Amino acid sequence: MTKMSGNDSKKSELPPHADPETNVYNFGILLLEIISGKLPHSEEQGNLVNWAADYLNDKRSIGYMIDPALQSFKDNELDAICEVIQDCTQPDPRLRATMREVTAKLREVLGISPEQVVPRISPLWWAELEILSFEAA
């Protein structure tokens, strides 16, 4: 998409307009990248969504697509995230979940409240994170 600025000889490239359906699709790709540790496209595996489709459609094989760096996860949470990925990456944009539906499902399954998601402004936030990290270990 090219936008003409004040004088016609000067052009600037603008990113394509991202509609809500495209944002949802991209969020699904992001989740898939996080759990698989793979890029959205690679020469050897092609498109990440196509590569993951067989795994996502068979719950018994989901574990084979998980990034080995993810040392621990809960199966029910992984299943829910994979369902969200499928809801987000539907080929037909009209069949995709809305971000409201996606966030509601993730909140329900992961038990994350809106208060936990919002960054707290604290001069000692790094210390709080360190304490939480230590307590979790």
User: How far apart are alpha carbons 31 and 82 in whole angstroms?
Assistant: 8
Lookup: tokens for 6: 């004040």
* pLDDT tens digits, one per residue of 82-94: 999 999 999 999 9
Distance CA 98, CA 84 (A): 10
Distance CA 95, CA 82 (A): 16
**pTM of the model as a whole:** 0.71
- Highest CATH level, class, for 18-114: mainly alpha
pLDDT digits (tens, 9 = 90+) for 71-124: 888 888 899 999 999 999 999 999 999 999 999 999 898 887 777 766 666 667
Residue type, 45: Q
Vertex 114 angle, CA 105 and 111, to 5°: 50
